Amino acid sequence: MIEDTVLYIKENEIKKALILATKGTLESKLYQNMCKKYDVDYLEPDDDTKEFLMDIIYKIKKGEMISKEEFEDILRPFEEIEAFILGCTELSILKSSLNLDERFIDPLLIETKKIIKHFNREYRD
């Protein structure tokens, strides 16, 4: 899933992606190492953004939601970034629930489309 996400970024000629994930995922360097493997430029969130992401993830785990404005506010310092990797299953929920635009890359959706294509089917929203 991580490799397919990075390949998607590369194939779509995205210049730089911000990795949005838990502290554990960021510390494991899963996305960072894959980006390096395929020569994809990436950025990690600063400490304040990491804390905000952890708060969001725990809210979602508890069944709470956040507003689109609240989510976008934390990302304002990263306006020059072309894409945001939603590198956590809880963050994937935000893609549809907040109606996030195509800059927000959902690894789960990438994998879903790949599986559907594997079975010679067509993905329908």
Q: Is residue 77 part of a domain?
A: yes
Identify the domain containing residue 111 by its residue range.
2-118
Q: Is residue 18 part of a domain?
A: yes
What is the pairing mode between strands 16-20 and 41-43?
parallel
H or E element, residue 71: helix 68-75
Q: Is residue 124 part of a domain?
A: no
As a whole-number percent, the residues of the chain with pLDDT over 90 amount to 71
Is this prediction's pTM over 0.85? yes
Q: What is the mean pLDDT of residues 60-79?
A: 89
Residues 94-109 have pLDDT tens digits of 998 999 999 999 999 9
pLDDT of residue 56 exceeding 80, the answer is yes
Q: Is residue 125 part of a domain?
A: no
CATH code for the domain in which residue 53 is found: 3.40.50.1860
Residues 71-97 have pLDDT tens digits of 888 888 898 899 999 999 899 999 989
- What distance in Å separates the CA atoms of residue 3 and residue 34, rounded to the nearest whole number? 6
